[in-house]
Amino acid sequence: QQPVQSPQAVILREGEDAVINCSSSKALYSVHWYRQKHGEAPVFLMILLKGGEQKGHEKISASFNEKKQQSSLYLTASQLSYSGTYFCGAGGFGNEKLTFGTGTRLTIIP
């Protein structure tokens, strides 16, 4: 079952902050975050691992609540280049069966 992302779409003005949520019905051992611009491939932003380790983008932060099986991606002082569709991916432990959410479309306007 795919993780549920919210909101499905959001429009912000440049400089505003955004939060994208990802909720899984299964136990989470890792959460991936990717951004995809129209007509392009998804690009890796960040990975959060059970136990607290995080790896990824300098200007983007995220949280991982293992008990609630939820993750949130925080985009602060958004720039026009942040526009795109954001996907979270829920991963198990020890294998790479990764299930993505249906995406959140973020539009930043000047």
Partner 1 sequence: EAQVTQNPRYLITVTGKKLTVTCSQNMNHEYMSWYRQDPGLGLRQIYYSMNVEVTDKGDVPEGYKVSRKEKRNFPLILESPSPNQTSLYFCASGPGWGYGYTFGSGTRLTVV
Select 84 or 103, whichever has its Cβ closest to partner 1: 103
> At 14, is the secondary structure helix, strand, or coil?
coil
Instruction: Supply the minimum distance, in Å, between the C-beta of residue 95 and partner 1.
Output: 7
Instruction: Supply the minimum distance, in Å, between the C-beta of residue 11 and partner 1.
Output: 19
Instruction: Supply the minimum distance, in Å, between the C-beta of residue 14 and partner 1.
Output: 27
Instruction: Tell me how many degrees the CA angle 27-31-32 measures, rounded to the nearest 5.
Output: 150
What residues line the site for partner 1 (CB under 8 A)?
A: 2, 30, 32, 34, 40-47, 49, 53, 55-56, 87, 89, 91, 93-103
Contact 91, 30 (CB under 8 A): yes
Distance CA 2, CA 9 (A): 17
